[in-house]
Amino acid sequence: MSSVQSWSCPTMKLSNGLQMPILGIGTSQVGGFCQETVLYAVRDCGIRLIDTSKYNGFEVKLAEVFRDCGVPRSDLWITNKLWPEDYGYETAKKAFQKSCSQVGVEYLDIYMLHWPGTMKPGGCNREQRAESWRALEELYEEGLCRSIGVSNFKIHHLEQLKEDCSVVPHVNQVEYHPYQLPNKLIEYCRKEDIAFQGYSPLAKGQTLSNPTINELAHKYGRTPAQICIRWSIQNGAITIPKSTKKERIVENYQVIFGFSLEEEDMENINKLHDGRHVSWDPTNVE
């Protein structure tokens, strides 16, 4: 594939003053993983935010990407997550150290609680969240995590964490696409100065055949994927699309900041919200 011009990604300022790239690349088991494509994204396309988790199982492969990409560690923003099987103070600390070793780094830019529920038999979700978060707070204080956050947390989970702990999460990462627009959660995060991050911006491909999205793609001379990613970013969400194909990496990242959607078109996309989830639904987790 012909080389592409690297670009500088805009950032979002977190409550602790760090600047987090507003667009990155996600990795997940769904749809597969291509190490060569992630390397291409980082080395050739200028992508600096890479999102992964222990659950996805790609830590060792990503270590090879970071080793081979030629990008200084200080220029990368590496996100990893604590899996609920490892919740608890001591186990969280051990899991963090193992993930860092697997990824081949001495620190993470952000470490997150992956899910509001514990997977430990007989464990209380709220207590396990608090114990795990206390471990993350200490890792943050020690400089081993430059920031700490949560994933898939609803308002009541965030409220409890605020009551039980000292550091308010810097980021909340949730499923976010035109069919899943959690306005109350977004408003809460903004009020509490928690950066809002969205994954699955294409609803795992479900948005690509939507008539409204396709009409806008025609209007702007863009692809349906570009319309959805632009919509997500323009709504103020840090966005992490994933792909296993190099051409999709170029499509998803190279022109997103070269156009804007008109307000009326943003509203028309917002109206597509029907509450569907294409991933896990944490609503009923206590």
User: DSSP secondary-structure letter at 185?
Assistant: H
The amino acid present at 70, given as its one-letter code, is: G
Q: Which domains does the chain have, with CATH numbers?
A: 13-270 (3.20.20.100)
Give helix then strand counts, H and E, for the chain.
10, 10
pLDDT per residue, tens digit, the chain (286 aa), is 444 555 678 999 999 999 999 999 999 877 678 999 999 999 999 999 999 999 888 999 999 999 999 999 999 999 999 999 999 999 999 999 999 999 999 999 999 999 999 998 888 999 999 999 999 999 999 999 999 999 999 999 999 999 999 999 999 999 999 999 999 999 999 999 999 999 999 999 999 999 999 999 999 999 999 999 999 999 999 999 998 899 989 888 878 999 999 999 999 999 999 999 999 899 999 9
45/208 Cα distance (integer angstroms): 23
- Residues 159-209 have pLDDT tens digits of 999 999 999 999 999 999 999 999 999 999 999 999 999 999 999 999 999
What digits encode the pLDDT tens for the residues 91-118? 999 999 999 999 999 999 999 999 999 9
> Collapsing DSSP states into helix, strand and coil, what is residue 174?
strand
Among 43, 121, 56, 48, CA closest to 82: 56
Say whether 114 counts as a known binding-site residue.
Answer: yes
Long-range contacts of 265-270 (CB under 8 A, 24+ apart): 265/216, 265/219, 266/231, 266/234, 266/235, 268/212, 268/216, 269/178, 269/212, 269/213, 269/216, 269/227, 269/228, 269/231, 270/178, 270/181
Query: Taking the complete model, does pTM exceed 0.85, yes or no?
Result: yes
